[in-house]
Amino acid sequence: MNDGPVNGGRMPKKERMRFVSAEQVAQLAGVSRSAVSRTFTPGASVAPATREKVLRAAEELGYHVNDLARGVLANQSRLVGIVATRPEVGFRAHLAAALAKSLIRRGSIPILVNTGQTEEELLAAQKMLIGHRAEAIIILSGSPPASFLELAQRNGQPLVVIGRSEPDADHVRAGNSEASRSAAAAFYESGWRRLAVIGSNSKTPAIVERESAFLSAAESLGASVMVARGDDSDYQGGVAAGRALFSGRIMPDAVFCANDLIAFGLMDVARQEAGLRIPEDLAIIGFDDVPESAWLSYQLTTFRQDPQTMAQRAVALMERRLENPDAPPACERVIPELVIRQSFRP
């Protein structure tokens, strides 16, 4: 028996993907092709008996409407781009997930674009989404350059920015300054006078706002404030900042961290390397309330950003812009709530 290659020594060709067509549904249902199209077009006129035949045939064959083709004909798709740098990290991961769920609920198709923060990288992501006729873009990372905004406006593509203030775009912002000032006041009212704030050298708008608001509020109260920063606003950044903070002769009583990932790094260094007890020797407040904040190892007191609320506000702004393209830019501000755990109890 010959077990060698078939087709004269050539490997068999891979079967091409073939989706069930509207024509196949029409043949099985015994109706015209146009009757199938009308059945799946909202508001189109079709006899009840014909509709029933078409739907039964479509179910039997596993047919689904070609939304991509419809989008091309209408010069618009239901795609919505979510543009983010490192979308898998920290609060950004939960926000991206919440956005995807909110968009799917409204019938949109979320497309996550993992990009950098340079103008070239952001514009490349935008051009790809415009090429696929995305109906809107929601950007989570990097301040979009003026050219980004101009290109969106020329193509009538709604743009929503989360986490930073953009005067020419709809945006959703957390109450960074309010929460940071509240953290400084809470430490001061609890008797702590040697305070510290940890940000990062990434200098994203949210991190800078939290750091500067805390510093200003604490100094106005008469407290001394140390500042430490890691390279990025992540766990390793918190570790590096913590080591720098604890290397001096004067140790802080309480530390405000610009996000929870930074706080986790700081807490591990404080306990494992500096021999400090939390909160007896060092009180800590974070920002975001990612799920790990409630873990037994951390029990972090932190300001909660609700990803579901922020996602819903962003989608609402997108819908408003789609309905009224000429409306002035709008801002939705979400004020974080302090969640009390063991790292600091006022």
Q: Does a structural domain hold residue 12?
A: no
Do residue 120 and residue 267 come from a single domain?
A: no
Q: Does a structural domain hold residue 345?
A: no
pTM tops 0.85: no
For residue 48, cis peptide bond before it (omega within 30 degrees of 0): no
Question: In this structure, are strands 136-139 and 170-174 parallel, antiparallel, or unpaired?
Answer: unpaired
Do residue 28 and residue 131 come from a single domain?
A: no
- Which pLDDT score, from 0 to 100, does residue 53 have? 85
> Tokens representing 253?
């009583």
Do residue 130 and residue 158 come from a single domain?
A: yes
Do residue 184 and residue 300 come from a single domain?
A: yes
Do residue 182 and residue 292 come from a single domain?
A: yes
Do residue 60 and residue 123 come from a single domain?
A: no
| Phi, psi (degrees; rounded to nearest 5) at 170 | -65, 140
- pLDDT tens digits for 288-322? 999 999 999 999 999 999 999 999 999 999 999 99
- Which pLDDT score, from 0 to 100, does residue 105 have? 92
What is the average pLDDT score of the chain?
86
Q: Does a structural domain hold residue 205?
A: yes
Do residue 259 and residue 185 come from a single domain?
A: yes
For the chain, how many structural domains are there in total? 3
80, 106 contact by CB (below 8 A): no
Do residue 131 and residue 184 come from a single domain?
A: no
Q: Does a structural domain hold residue 346?
A: no
Do residue 50 and residue 101 come from a single domain?
A: no
Q: Residue 318 is part of a domain; what is its CATH number?
A: 3.40.50.2300
Q: Which domain holds residue 235?
A: 176-305
Q: Does a structural domain hold residue 168?
A: yes
Q: Residue 308, class by beta-carbon neighbours within 10 Å (0-12 exposed, 13-18 middle, 19+ buried)?
A: middle
Q: Does a structural domain hold residue 110?
A: yes
- Which pLDDT score, from 0 to 100, does residue 204 have? 83
Average pLDDT over residues 195-210: 91
Q: Does a structural domain hold residue 216?
A: yes
Average pLDDT over residues 269-279: 95
- pLDDT tens digits for 49-104? 888 888 888 888 777 765 555 555 444 568 898 888 888 889 999 999 999 999 99
CA distance 13 to 45: 43
Average pLDDT over residues 38-51: 80
Do residue 88 and residue 158 come from a single domain?
A: yes
Q: Does a structural domain hold residue 106?
A: yes
- Which pLDDT score, from 0 to 100, does residue 61 have? 77
Q: Residue 211, class by beta-carbon neighbours within 10 Å (0-12 exposed, 13-18 middle, 19+ buried)?
A: buried
What is the side-by-side order of every strand in the sheet holding 337-339?
224-230, 194-200, 254-257, 283-288, 301-304, 337-339
- pLDDT tens digits for 120-173? 877 787 777 777 788 888 988 655 666 777 777 777 788 899 987 777 789 999
Do residue 284 and residue 188 come from a single domain?
A: yes
Please report which helix (H) or strand (E) contains residue 322, including its range. helix 307-323
- Which pLDDT score, from 0 to 100, does residue 181 have? 97
53, 31 contact by CB (below 8 A): yes
Q: Residue 39 is part of a domain; what is its CATH number?
A: 1.10.260.40
Do residue 157 and residue 169 come from a single domain?
A: yes
Closest CA to 162 of 153, 154, 171, 170: 171
> Tokens representing 207?
């991190």
- Which pLDDT score, from 0 to 100, does residue 73 have? 46
Say whether pLDDT at 180 is over 60: yes
Say whether pLDDT at 3 is over 70: no
- pLDDT tens digits for 226-260? 999 999 999 999 999 999 999 988 899 999 999 99
